[in-house]
Structure 1
């Protein structure tokens, strides 16, 4: 569900199927227009060099879901849907030299270059859809994504399989997405957002269309089982599943995420998976 404005010419909101090509086009179009507003509104929370897993504020500096920093320093790392590169840049500040970020939006990557110059911490990036990773098999020791491109793909299994392809044996995939149960509820941070209105099992995408019926924003719903089956079908092993509780210290509202809702049910799911070494 769209939590931040910026999509051009939204005429109608609907639930329907959207294929791989339409989804990629819509994501690119929406983020080109939304990037400036998104970074202005959320940049302070994300921090120029910070690794935040979601609106709850789970910080990788504390959670260590990627593994011990000492082990990461020699790793080759790929961040999917890197936005302005905040997470990848944090890894660089921890001594991880070989970090690459990819994002579908050129404008998001322009913000990454701006922050690189402001902080003096540079991250190599490439503009690409996470459904078509332009890297060789086994090129990375770690693939990570904090609300990056994965919520916007129609086939979770195919995207996870490609992420697993670029991992070396023994490598790790860690990613966060909207918790699947959020799809039962209106994207409202208040009392209305506590009343379930639609089926958890309705896998039709959330689509914003222009006047010609073309998608300008698409987000896909995959159940918890879908994500787990996707991980398994990609040849990975699920090591952990984190459903963060909303901390008392976080009083901000981020679209449909809020202290009210976050203290009653999870808004984020973080999956930790590994590629067998054999």
Structure 2
């Protein structure tokens, strides 16, 4: 396992003990899909396809509450992949209680132990989308998708990342150059994040056979309050600038044996 994956597993083991384990059941109990730190409704953002009858994989699923929402929404199969055993234990406990039948796999989303072309939707909300190397997990998502399948992922926006100091909260100053965002090692915890700017991400998606369908910038709602745990971005800041963004892309229907697809995946 790469060192950054080991470090992120350590960080999320601690986060699960501090917050996500206790919060998981409440998330699993909700019937409406809500995105990001401020829980913006999917009905407002319209970032996902109709999941009825789809095979879905979540890359970096954490406690897998999005998987629960997909299953309730009619997905045929939902697989969650995560590198942190503690979060998967929480997810399995919730799945046993709610009886939704998720498949949960302990693995690095940069190298998933599943066959090619198994899924219609690959998804990540602050999972692989920021904790895995995009040069590895984006090709892996392409490999796992059937032709015409969709990739949807949420991550921090570029503007919020350049306005984030090494310690403390996001503010109105630029604290780091945009060209150095690809890999960030914070000084206040052990985690490693990846934040490719939008242009680089666009080119990476295209190189791996994806057509970009949408880029949704997510602001804090007017009635939002600072998050009790994920408090890096002040809600007042996020009402003026997008703290989060959702990418939606579709895998172009190129024959698997074609030189274009082979070049994109290697």
- 5+ residue gaps, structure 2, are 255-266
Q: 2:238 maps to which residue? A: 262
Match of 2:211 among 228, 231, 237: 237
If the length of structure 2 is used for normalisation, what is the TM-score? Answer: 0.85
Of 175-184 and 247-256, the range deviating more from structure 2:
247-256
Provide the rounded CA distance (Å) in 2 between the counterparts of 1:21 and 1:40: 25
Distance 1:42 1:117 in 2: 16
Structure-2 separation of matches of 1:40 and 1:261? 28
Deviation at 1:42, TM superposition (A): 5.0
- Quote the Cα distance in structure 2 between the aligned partners of 1:204 and 1:66: 26
- Equivalent in the alignment of 2:221: 247
The 2-side partners of 1:258 and 1:42 are apart by 21
Q: Contact 1:189–1:255 at 8 Å: present in 2 too? A: no
Q: Give the distance between the partners of 2:21 and 2:9, measured in 1 at CA.
A: 19
CA distance in 1, matches of 2:75, 2:106: 21
Residue pair 1:157, 1:234 contacting (<8 A) in 2 also: no
Output one character per residue of 1:167-219: Cα deviation in whole Å (capped at 9) or x when no partner.
101110000111122222135886x7222222122236332579xxxx93211
User: For the Cα contact (< 8 Å) 2:28–2:68, is it kept in 1?
Assistant: no
Question: How does 1:1-278 map onto structure 2 within 5 Å?
Answer: 21-39=2-20, 43=24, 46-49=27-30, 51-68=33-50, 72-154=51-133, 156-186=134-164, 193-203=171-181, 205-208=183-186, 216-253=190-227, 254-278=230-254
**More RCO (CA 8 Å, sep 6+):** 1
Structure 2 distance, partners of 1:228, 1:115, is 36
> How far apart, CA to CA, are the structure 2 residues paired with 1:47 and 1:249?
23
The alignment's TM-score, normalised by the length of structure 1, stands at 0.81
Tell whether the 8 Å contact from 2:24 to 2:94 is kept in structure 1 after alignment: no
The whole-number CA distance in structure 1 between the counterparts of 2:248 and 2:9 is 27
SS at match of 1:150: helix
Unaligned runs of 5+ in 1: 1-19
Query: What do you get for the CA RMSD once the two structures are aligned?
Result: 2.5
Deviations 1:33-76 (A, max 9, x none): 221223157547745445333113223354332212xxx22111
CA distance in 2, matches of 1:206, 1:41: 28
Query: For residues 213 and 16 of structure 2, what CA distance do their matches in structure 1 show?
Result: 33
Matched residue of 2:7: which SS?
Answer: helix
State the SS of the aligned residue for 1:134.
coil
**In the alignment, is the contact (CA less than 8 A) between 1:246 and 1:262 conserved in 2?**
yes
Listed one character per residue, the Cα deviations across residues 1-41 of structure 1 (whole Å, up to 9, x for unaligned) are xxxxxxxxxxxxxxxxxxx8121111122212221223157
Q: Judging changes above 3 Å, is the alpha-carbon distance between structure 1 residues 135 and 237 closer, same or farther for their aligned structure 2 residues?
A: same
